[in-house]
Amino acid sequence: MKTLIKTLAIAIITLASASTGLTADDKEMMKDGVMMKDGKMMVMKEGKSMMMADKEMMMKDGTKVMMDGTVMMKDGKKMRMKNGDMMMMDGKMMKHGDKKADDKK
């Protein structure tokens, strides 16, 4: 009986982790980006966060993120990040409370 329970637990964990639908590249991108936290811009790199040191960061799609949370899209549109908003390094924005990145281009 214990063996059956262990086997079922392992199977459930394996299926749960496999069913996320994220590729290795997706998981890597989720680690890296910038986030507005308590009114300050934070940089997330490899799962670690630190204060944004540069005046601006360029995302892979050409979007610029400034230290004050201003975002300049490559098409010239401006927006301001709010507390909890995150932008991935590929330029996709996650608004506070979203579960996946939106393409805001």
DSSP string for 74-87:
TTS-EEE--TT-EE
pLDDT at 66 over 70: yes
Tell me the domain boundaries of the chain.
24-94
What is the phi/psi pair of residue 2, to 5°?
-60, -40
Mean pLDDT, residues 68-78 taken together: 92
Better-scored residue on pLDDT, 77 or 14: 77
Query: pTM for this one?
Result: 0.62
Model confidence pLDDT, tens digit, residues 6-16: 777 676 776 65
